[in-house]
């Protein structure tokens, strides 16, 4: 089982490290041929408009869409969540994504870089204490399709009730950055999901 990390921009190294710590074989993906060699794909945090542009320039946009539509497991954190959404609010008009989860997300919903924050979030399917979630210019989910499961919401502050973790089948997305915390539970959850899909 090989899990790729989309290596165009963003927290690539951190995701590769977390996946390796979870006993998964992980490798960067920058080209269509590299995409063909993986069983699943992580789309990291970063800058979603830049990621969209680079995915088109590297001829990865349509191949990734087709792989996900064909059943390839995928996980997106922060910008990766935006890339997996079918509808993006406050994005650029020419921004395109992978249409992996029927949901509407709002870019930078929690504010600018200076508004970044950390908060405990309980995630359905993740045992133990609430997940220590790091939000950096993060999106939130405005609405989801009928087949999308809400896994986590903010529980405190002005953003209480906002959706920050979702799953549709073997496609997972979070608004926050588990790759920056050292808590491997979400990566293990995804690795298990990939193993079960195989």
The residue from 14, 15, 22, 78 that is catalytic is 78
pLDDT along the chain (198 residues), means of 10: 95 96 97 97 92 95 97 96 94 87 88 67 92 86 96 84 95 94 94 94
User: Residue 193's domain spans which residues?
Assistant: 2-197
pLDDT at 68: 98
Number of domains the chain contains: 1
Prediction pTM value:
0.93
Domain with residue 50: its CATH number is 3.40.50.880
Specify whether 78 is catalytic.
yes
Predicted local confidence at residue 113, as pLDDT? 58
Q: Which of 14, 22, 179, 187 is catalytic?
A: 179
What pairing do the DSSP bridges indicate for beta strands 101-106 and 140-144?
antiparallel
Q: Per DSSP, what are the bridge partners of residue 121? A: 131
Find, among 131, 82, 128, the residue nearest to 109 by Cα. 82
pLDDT at site 119:
83
Instruction: Judge whether 177 counts as a catalytic residue.
Output: yes
Of the candidates 79, 70, 5, the one whose C-alpha atom is nearest the C-alpha of residue 48 is 79
**SS3 for 50-74, per residue?**
HHHHHHHHCCCHHHHHHHHHCCCCE
Question: Angle 192-180-68 (CA atoms, 0-180°, nearest 5)?
Answer: 45
């Amino acid at each position: 089982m090989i899990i790729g990390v989309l290596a165009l921009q963003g927290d690539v190294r951190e995701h590769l490290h977390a996946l390796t710590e979870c006993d998964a074989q992980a490798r960067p993906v920058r080209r269509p041929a590299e995409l063909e060699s993986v069983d699943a794909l992580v789309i990291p945090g970063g800058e979603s408009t830049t990621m969209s542009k680079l995915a088109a320039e590297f001829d990865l946009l349509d191949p990734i869409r087709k792989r996900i539509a064909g059943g390839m497991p995928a996980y997106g954190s922060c910008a990766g969540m935006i890339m997996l959404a079918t509808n993006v609010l406050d994005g650029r008009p020419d921004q395109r994504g992978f249409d992996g989860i029927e949901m509407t997300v709002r870019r930078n919903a929690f504010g600018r870089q200076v508004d970044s924050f950390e908060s405990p979030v309980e995630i359905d399917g993740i045992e133990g204490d609430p997940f220590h979630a790091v939000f950096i210019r993060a999106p939130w989910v405005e609405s989801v399709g009928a087949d999308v499961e809400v896994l986590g919401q903010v529980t405190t502050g002005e953003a209480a009730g906002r959706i920050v973790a979702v799953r549709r089948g073997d496609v997972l997305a979070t608004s926050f950055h588990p790759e920056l915390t050292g808590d491997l539970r979400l990566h293990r959850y995804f690795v298990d999901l990939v193993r079960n899909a195989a």
